[in-house]
Amino acid sequence: MYYSNGNYEAFARPVKPDGVDNKSAYMVGAGLAGLAAAAFLIRDGQMKGSNIHIFEELKLAGGACDGIHSPHVGFVCRGGREMENHFECLWDLYRSIPSIETEGVSVLDEFYWLNKRDPNYSLMRVSCNRGEDAQTDCKFDINDKAALQILKLFMTPDEELYDKRMDEFFDDDFYNTNFWIYWQTMFAFEKWHSALEMKLYIYRFIHHIEGLPNLKALKFAKYNSYESLILPLVRYLKAQGVDFQYDTRVTNVVFDIKPEKKVAKKIELIKKGQSKTIDLTENDLVIITNGCNTENSTLGDNDHAPDFSTKDGEGGCWELWRNIAAQDPAFGRPEKFCSSIKETNWESATVTTLDDRIPPYVQKMSKRDPFAGNVVTGGIITVKDSNWLMSYTFNRQPHFKAQPKNQLVGWIYGLYCIDVPGNYVKKPMKDCTGIEICEEWLYHMGVPVDQIHDMASKSANTIPCMMPYVTSFFMPRAEGDRPKVVPDGAVNFGFVGQFADTFRDTVFTTEYSVRTAMEAVYTLLKVDRGVPEVFSSVYDIRVLLDSTSKLMDGRKPIEVMLPSLFTGIAALKGKMDKNVVTKLLKRYNNV
């Protein structure tokens, strides 16, 4: 497997790998990573679909990319998916997945046309004082000390960030900036999360710094992530003859470990309550999704808070990974990610409006007609003075195909949900019913206090969802805590998803799931085509200069961080005016 960039590799079709007709494949998990791996096996590995088997412990594919409509519960999304134009592997996949709405076009075609016609941007990124615009004015508000803290993290080698927390690099000068409000709530970072992941995120998305304050960097699908991303992929795979086995929990993969090679020999699973074993040969590929950030998620309803009794490390995916990891140190350390629920949880809620009372407040906050079929909030609106650090979003409506035309479906989440009472509802978010979460949200939109309870209980259906491990992949880590996509010496297996380890990319993205899937398939089948490298904006001097200037709200970075050097440059100004370096610095507002 090798990385590539440019159209020469992007448009090429690889030759059929040797011996693929004699191989079969087993996917452990039907999340986006497992589904993508199956698609790459078919498209680029040219494996027969009938030779591919997908095991999923739930009754539905998609993993964290969900969106369900239950007659007994209502509409539910545990979260949404923010995407951008340089998710190279994601778009490489979806250029080949047929649309289920428009004959003759791909999912990528639809997505591209939609976001060209209706580009995303926010008209109110941050609110305060019960529904007022916080007037952040697209400013980052970074002082000199905070700027130097960011620079220090940016320049620190990865190995010096192993097991380091963010709060070992930053203090209140940084945490009090608008930058941190934008960053924390968009990506769900906490102060105790990995400094390494923070650095990788800055590297990965530095080309979008300008778009952070108004979210114009983001792109969204037409509907929820299940109907927009998962369902077309599942239908494509089924049309190719792929075998889906739901209600099937894999409990272990048994390996034969030798110094020179590692071979998966057996899959142990429980299917509809019955234990079963599948013996494997070296021609049987096993692609394992190890770990899951939505494991043990629980739902409440209008009248009940979700259960929050999961203990550290509980959950089928963690049990599977522990059983695998016990066989070889190269298979990672799951305990680094699942052993502190108090640091990895937050709660979301799906709210559905039922009449015409709440939509005017959504329109007030978004500054758009929410029923127009276009961008509404343009990403999350963060309530700056919320005790729960509440954010909420309404994407293009309808958000579900089955959604009635007179209803809106939105999504709320709180980062501080365990032990902090709300501003209106005087108890922690985790203890709140759907009605109470809706009340807190309505309060922050400026609904008159005497109307809040009646509106929350009669004009909305609110389904809370507690996720104990939702940011588990952000926990401080070191080399080897995550297994390589294909471990050294592995013959017929690989790891995919958010807890597999690949070079330079960032977790908590659809791209990471698809990238690990592509790398696993290309490595195991020796597919002779390059995997698109992570977009290299961090190595583009133009992006670095421009982003630095934007972060400083237009101030000259050299003046702020290197005043003595600036004085020297000023003294030589006459000699440097025609220098190509000086022209570059001027073009991007650095001098």
Q: Which residues are catalytic?
A: 82, 201
Contact partners, residue 355, CB within 8 Å, separation at least 6: 406, 458, 459
Q: How many helices (H) and strands (E) does the chain have?
A: 22, 20
Q: How far is CA 542 from CA 152, 200, 538, 560, in A?
A: 20, 19, 9, 19
Closest to 543 measured CA to CA, from 209, 266, 260, 174: 209
Distance CA 516, CA 518 (A): 5
Nearby residues of 326 by Cβ (< 8 Å), 6 or more positions away:
none
Whole-number Cα distances in Å, 358 to 370, 454, 460:
11, 11, 8
Cα 515 to Cα 506: distance, rounded to the nearest angstrom: 10
- Helical pair 195-204 and 144-155, crossing angle rounded to 10 deg: 90
For the record, the structure tokens of 571 come out as 């003294």
Query: Is-cis flag, bond preceding 329, omega within 30?
Result: no
β-bridge pairing 409-414 and 460-467: unpaired
What's the rounded Cα separation, in Å, for the pair 523 and 262? Answer: 15
Gap between the Cα atoms of 110 and 99, Å rounded: 7
Q: Can you list the positions of beta strands (E) in 425-558?
A: 460-467, 493-496, 531-532
Length of the chain: 591
In angstroms, the CA 234 to CA 572 distance is 63
Closest by CA to 221, choosing from 124, 126, 391, 94, is 94
